[in-house]
Structure 1
Amino acid sequence: MKSNKLNIFVLLTCSLIIVGFVFFSSGVENLVHNFNSLNFWWIAAAIGCMLLYWLLESVILHIMIKPMYKKQKFLNSVRVSMGGQYFNSITPFSSGGQPFQAYYLKKQGVQLGVAINSLLSKFIIYQVALVIVSAVLLGLRLGYFQQKVSNFALIVLVGFLINLIVMLCLIGFALFKNTTRKISRGIIRFLAKIRIFKDPDEKIAYMDGELEKFSACFKEMVKDLPTMIVSFLLSIVQLIVYMAVPYMIYKAFGLSEIDFLTIIAAQSFVMMISSFIPIPGAGVGAEGFFYFFFQQFFIKEGQLGLALILWRVITFYFTIVVGAFFAVKANKKNGPEPDSIEEDVPAGEEDIQV
Structure 2
Amino acid sequence: MRELNNTIKSGLKISLIITIIVFLIILFLTTDSRTWHALKSINGKYLVYVILLNILSWIWSGIRYSILIQGIEGAKLNLLEALQIHLSYYFAASITPTSAGGEPLEIYLLSKKNIKVGQATALSLFRYVINTLTFALASPLIIYFYSYLFPQNIIRKLVQYSAILFLMVVGLFLFALFKPRPIIRLLSYVLIKLRKIPFLRKIHPFKILRVVNKTVRDFHNTLWSFLKEKKLTILGFFLFNLLSWITYFLIAPVLMSAFNLQVNYISVVLVQVPIFFMMFYVPSPGGSGAIEILLSLAFAPFVPKYILGIFIILWRTLTHYLTLLVGAIVLVYILGIKNW
TM-score, normalised by the number of residues in structure 2: 0.80
Determine if the alignment matches structure 1 residue 154 to structure 2 residue 157: yes
| Partner SS state of residue 110, structure 1 | coil
Q: How does 1:27-66 map to 2 (within 5 A)?
A: 27=31, 29-66=33-70
Residues 2/311 of structure 1: CA separation in 2 closer, same or farther (3 Å cut): same
Determine if the alignment matches structure 1 residue 234 to structure 2 residue 235: no
User: Shift of residue 28 of structure 1?
Assistant: 6.5
Cα distance in 2, alignment partners of residues 242 and 21 from structure 1: 26
| Partner SS state of residue 302, structure 1 | helix
Q: Would you identify which runs of 4 or more consecutive aligned residues in structure 1 move more than 4 Å?
A: 208-214
Residues 261/177 of structure 1: CA separation in 2 closer, same or farther (3 Å cut): farther
Cα distance in 1, alignment partners of residues 237 and 279 from structure 2: 24
Give structure 1 stretches of 5+ with no counterpart.
Answer: 189-201, 338-354
Cα distance in 2, alignment partners of residues 12 and 175 from structure 1: 38
CA offsets 1:292-327 (integer angstroms, 9 cap, x no match): 22112112x421101110121122111111111110
Q: Is the 8 A contact 1:163 1:272 kept in 2?
A: no
Quote the residue 1:17 is aligned against.
Answer: 21
Cα distance in 2, alignment partners of residues 175 and 58 from structure 1: 26
Q: How many residues align?
A: 312
Determine if the alignment matches structure 1 residue 273 to structure 2 residue 278: yes
Cα distance in 2, alignment partners of residues 216 and 230 from structure 1: 21
Residues 70/211 of structure 1: CA separation in 2 closer, same or farther (3 Å cut): closer
Cα distance in 2, alignment partners of residues 260 and 294 from structure 1: 12
Q: Is the 8 A contact 2:93 2:99 kept in 1?
A: yes
Cα distance in 1, alignment partners of residues 113 and 174 from structure 2: 32
Q: 2:290 aligns with which of 285, 289, 305?
A: 285
Q: Is the 8 A contact 1:102 1:115 kept in 2?
A: yes
Quote the residue 2:251 is aligned against.
Answer: 245
Bigger mean CA offset, 7-16 vs 115-124: 115-124
Determine if the alignment matches structure 1 residue 217 to structure 2 residue 222: yes
Q: Is the 8 A contact 1:93 1:277 kept in 2?
A: yes
Quote the residue 2:135 is aligned against.
Answer: 130
Q: 2:335 aligns with which of 321, 331, 336?
A: 331
Residues 86/58 of structure 1: CA separation in 2 closer, same or farther (3 Å cut): same
The sequence identity of aligned pairs, in percent, is 22
CA offsets 1:46-92 (integer angstroms, 9 cap, x no match): 22221111111111111111342344332212212211111111111
Residue identity in the other structure for 1:81: H
Q: Is the 8 A contact 1:181 1:211 kept in 2?
A: no
Determine if the alignment matches structure 1 residue 141 to structure 2 residue 143: no
Cα distance in 2, alignment partners of residues 63 and 132 from structure 1: 23
Quote the residue 2:86 is aligned against.
Answer: 81
Q: Is the 8 A contact 1:124 1:170 kept in 2?
A: no
Determine if the alignment matches structure 1 residue 315 to structure 2 residue 315: no
Residue identity in the other structure for 1:158: Y
User: Shift of residue 284 of structure 1?
Assistant: 0.8
Q: Is the 8 A contact 1:129 1:235 kept in 2?
A: no
Quote the residue 2:303 is aligned against.
Answer: 298
Q: Is the 8 A contact 1:58 1:77 kept in 2?
A: yes
TM-score, normalised by the number of residues in structure 1: 0.78
User: Shift of residue 158 of structure 1?
Assistant: 2.9
Q: Is the 8 A contact 1:83 1:323 kept in 2?
A: yes
User: Shift of residue 279 of structure 1?
Assistant: 1.3
Quote the residue 2:175 is aligned against.
Answer: 173
Determine if the alignment matches structure 1 residue 115 to structure 2 residue 123: no
Residues 173/250 of structure 1: CA separation in 2 closer, same or farther (3 Å cut): farther
| Partner SS state of residue 115, structure 2 | coil
Residue identity in the other structure for 2:295: F
User: Shift of residue 104 of structure 1?
Assistant: 2.3
Q: Is the 8 A contact 1:246 1:263 kept in 2?
A: yes
Quote the residue 2:268 is aligned against.
Answer: 263
Give structure 2 stretches of 5+ with no counterpart.
Answer: 190-204
User: Shift of residue 280 of structure 1?
Assistant: 0.8
